[in-house]
Amino acid sequence: MSVLKLTPTHHRDTYPSISPTKPSLTQAGKTILITGGGGGIGFEIARSFAKASASRVIIVGRRAGFLDEAIGKLRNEFQSEGTEFMAHQADIASDTSIVSLWEFLHSQGILVHVLVLNAAHVKPIALDTLSIAKKELMEAFDINVGGNFLMSANFVKQALRPAGLQLVLLNVSTGAIHTPAPRVSTYSMTKAAFTGLLGRIANDRPVEDVQIISFHPGVLYSEGASKDFDKDAFSWDEFALPADFSVWAASPEAAWLHGRFVWAHWDVDELKADPEVLRRLEEEKGYLQVGVQGLTAATIQPMFDVKKN
């Protein structure tokens, strides 16, 4: 079975099992923070969490006007639903901006229960990777790895967090971390690096502390995609698929995928019912995590074993 289609069903749109109105997926009483939430996938994720009865949804982005417009749309659509919407201008490329964001939330007595890391730096775009300037390369790593790491650290270490309260961290990754991605090698590598880092963090922290899941959202006709591709160029996925999948991934139903990278396309019921998937998750620590293709598991334990004559 191909890793690109780990379940018999390959979804292109939302479906009942991940519907945000499904009672078992409710986000009632929770505050959700979404980076890059002013448009595209981030905006649709905000809509889905509102449908799941989240108490508060905070969208974060660089462009104040863009955020204001998005907040207006959300408040208008869900004005009778009881969800509070907030927008905060911040840039994950700036450590100062990230720290300021979390200091502001603390000053307002706001505890974030679910963090959705959606913002990303796609540039530089180049056919020849070696033509990229080192400064451009390191900027991509600093934002997609460093910025998202700092967001994650501040999230988990919130001073307002009661002892024993579980948090949820979702990473909107990309299928480009393990499939050919012409012209965007730095994007794919930096996304792979951060997805791999979250897998290591998940190894350190149990799901009861913070549930961590990374996922490929699909092929979406976003604002960025529209600049390079015609709408008829591909069979695009619907935004509702990754948006509703995010709500499912933030629920207890997804706890068994803690630390893993999955595709939003895969049917969650078929995935959980597959004995081979369950066996490999149990036996292979690196299954559905970033690693070396061809290796089921690796250990450095032999280095520490006492040599026997």
DSSP states of 111-169: PPSEEEE---------SSGGGS-HHHHHHHHIIIIIIHHHHHHHHHT-TTPPTT--EEE
Of the candidates 136, 118, 222, 127, the one whose C-alpha atom is nearest the C-alpha of residue 184 is 127
Q: Are 287 and 271 in contact (CB under 8 A)?
A: no
CA angle 139, 182, 125 (to 5 degrees): 35
Q: Which amino acid is at 256?
A: W
Residue among 287, 290, 262 nearest 193 (CA): 290
User: Across the strands, what pairs with 34?
Assistant: 59, 116
> Is 187 a catalytic site residue?
yes
**Contact call for residues 127 and 183 (beta carbons, < 8 A):** yes
Of 51, 53, 187, 188, the active-site residue reads 187
Backbone dihedral angles phi then psi of residue 268, each to the nearest 5 degrees: -70, -30
Phi, psi of 34 (to 5 degrees): -125, 120
| Residue from 173, 185, 188, 246 carrying the catalytic annotation | 173
CB atoms within 10 A of CB 133: 10
Catalytic residue among 191, 214, 246, 251: 191
DSSP helix/strand/coil, 73? helix
Token readout for 199 is: 């897998």
Is 191 in the active site? yes
Give CA angle at 213 (208, 215), nearest 5°. 170
Indicate the length of the chain as a whole number.
Answer: 309
Active centre residues (catalytic): 173, 187, 191
